[in-house]
Amino acid sequence: TSSSFSSTSSSSSPSSASSSSPSSFLSSHFVIPSTIKEVSGAVGTPSLLQGSQRVCSSHIAMAVTPSIKSDQGSSSQDGKGPSTLQSLPVTGSLFKDAIEDKVADLVGFLLLKYHTKELITKVEMLIVIKDYQDHFPVILSQASECLQLVFGIDVKELDPISHSYVLVNTLGLTYNGMLSDDQSVPKTGLLINILSVIFMDGNCSPEQNIWEVLSVMGLCAGRKHFIYGEPRELITKVWVQEG
């Protein structure tokens, strides 16, 4: 019988991930825009930006309704304008794709700032999204949601006058044992995703289901990831020993 992951198991041995290539949507986020390099001076850290875009692009895709009806020009309930991509005016799939690209760009930039422990300003973020500055609230909202759900990082406005922001761990001190080797990017988002799959499968999930989800995030058994390291070792050794 095939092995499986469960919320209580401690010795499962994952098989190799599927060799299928990521979707064309995910692959479209591999390129690092020069804007991010110009703003952050991150020419020497391309893997950080590339990886963040791979991880978050799947979340962005799921957050966007595949088709938006042209007769549904909605706004947020508080009257302050749109807060999601669904509420953007319909101007075609190319426009929606461009917005998704900018969300991925901003996620990469914010992760870099988290990595360097620097404050972020609205001006910097506007430079990152370039020609889509009019949609800054929507782009920031989606980028913030991605950071929170995937990486466990919250975007907080530090000063509403200067429009400066800070990135903080959502779970605070409980992150201490769940940081990467350089203590910069939390791994809790990955654990949450795995536990969610296990929960949805009735507290016992086949390995294949787990690795299908992880492959969308750019994680494969036996292949070292720039944030999570080797996922099989992380799941079956590090987390099992900690738990």
Q: Rounded mean pLDDT of the chain?
A: 65
Residue with tokens 């991010």: 36
The DSSP secondary-structure symbol of 15 reads -
9-59: per-residue pLDDT in tens? 333 333 333 333 222 322 333 232 333 333 333 333 344 444 445 455 555
| CA dist., res. 133 & res. 126, Å (int) | 6
Residue numbers of the domain that contains 212: 172-242
Do you know the residue count of the chain?
A: 243
pLDDT band at 93; cut points 50, 70, 90: confident
3-state SS class at 157? strand
- Which helix (H) or strand (E) element contains residue 165? strand 164-169
pTM above 0.85, yes or no: no
Residue 2 tokens read as: 């095939």
Q: Same structural domain for residues 204 and 159?
A: no
Q: Check: CB of residue 36 under 8 Å from CB of residue 46.
A: no
Q: Same structural domain for residues 233 and 196?
A: yes
149-172: per-residue pLDDT in tens? 777 788 998 888 888 998 887 755
Q: Same structural domain for residues 58 and 35?
A: yes
Residue 12, in any domain of the structure: no
Domains in the chain: how many in total?
2
For residue 138, the one-letter residue type is V
